[in-house]
Amino acid sequence: VTQSRADEGSDLRQAIQQLVVANRILAHEGVLDVFGHVSMRHPERNDRYLLACSRSPELVTADDILEFDLESNALDDRGLTLYSERPIHGCIYQARADVKAVCHNHAHSLLPFGITGVPLKPVFHVAAAIGYEVPTWEIRDEFGDATTLLVTDNDRGHSLAKALGLGTTCLMRGHGSVAAAGDLRRVVYIAITLMQNAAILSESLRMGAVNYLSPGEVEQLRQRVLAPRSLDRAWDYWCERAGFPTRPAVENQRS
């Protein structure tokens, strides 16, 4: 955090730092690579969100985080290039007052589901967080078959937000996915789990008839896997792996 932010409130500074860590975690775990991004709603103003300038998440630092209104205009772009797909974030924040964080990613294991139309549903307990079934947004339905696939304006953003509906995840055919949740740590959890569930389901589908989680199991699990005791454990682990240790180094006997 540089001097230029010395006048900002500590809530905002903490939020920015947490968003940097979320960027690094999602990059380290393979959810984000060159492309994709993660945002959070402004901690003090519901009509704004925080998102990095156009930078690969692995490289994002606190100085890259900018503020946007819900039309996805930068309050002050400081001359930086912006992600062209920021309407994904703004339109979901507009549509969903309960959503405080959004991740757009192209994790490789989930792309085949959007490409083939095979339903993506949770098959192991921690993946209940993704919902009963992940819908797919087909940009061709509303915008024709000669688009860039990209969500570069608010019309496309509203269309995607509608496909997401009241859920937490949505696939985008030939492109990627979005995850949305009530706080940043939950979005990180959901995005990582969505990727893992896709890989496990792909393998299961090749092997035989798949026994998905039942509706009752998803119902029982979806709150539980996102409860603080689960998130705390996960967050500490992902922070450590991404180079942001949360525990005293002296306790670690490794050479």
Query: 184: helix, coil or strand?
Result: helix
In the region spanning residues 130 to 169, those forming contacts with a copy of itself, defined by CB under 8 A, are: 140, 144-150
Q: Return the residue matching tokens 């699990």.
A: 221
Q: How far apart are CA 101 and CA 71, in angstroms?
A: 16
Q: Are 139 and 171 in contact (CB under 8 A)?
A: no
Nearest distance from residue 50's CB to a copy of itself, in Å?
17
Using the minimum distance from each CB to a copy of itself, give the nearer residue, 166 or 209: 209
Cβ pair 176, 142 in contact under 8 A? no
Q: Are 179 and 36 in contact (CB under 8 A)?
A: no
How far, in Å, CA of 244 to CA of 242, rounded?
A: 6
Q: Which of 45, 47, 59, 73 binds a copy of itself (CB under 8 A)?
A: 59
Count other C-beta atoms under 10 Å from residue 144's C-beta.
8
Q: Which CB, 48 or 108, lies closer to a copy of itself?
A: 108
**Smallest distance from the beta carbon of 45 to a copy of itself, in angstroms?**
25
* Interacting residues with a copy of itself between 67 and 106 (CB under 8 A): 81, 84, 106
Among the listed residues 94, 105, 177, 196, the single contact to a copy of itself using CB under 8 A? 196
Which residues within the stretch 212-231 sit at the binding site for a copy of itself (CB under 8 A)? 213-214, 216-217, 219-221, 224, 229
Return the number of the residue (20 or 161) whose C-beta is nearest a copy of itself: 20
Query: Which residues face 172 on adjacent strands?
Result: 137, 176
| Per-residue contact string for residues 7-46; x = within reach of a copy of itself by CB under 8 A | -------------x---x--------xxx-----------
> Are residues 89 and 51 in contact, defined by beta-carbon separation less than 8 angstroms?
yes
Closer residue to a copy of itself (CB): 109 or 168: 109
- Tell me the H-state helices in the chain: 10-28, 87-95, 111-116, 139-143, 154-164, 184-207, 215-224, 228-242
**According to CB under 8 A, which one of 13, 48, 108, 158 is a site residue for a copy of itself?**
108
- Active-site residue flag, 85: yes
Binds a copy of itself by CB under 8 A, chosen from 56, 153, 159, 182? 56
Which one is catalytic: 8, 29, 71, 85? 85
Distance CA 232, CA 54 (A): 30
Q: Which residues are catalytic?
A: 85
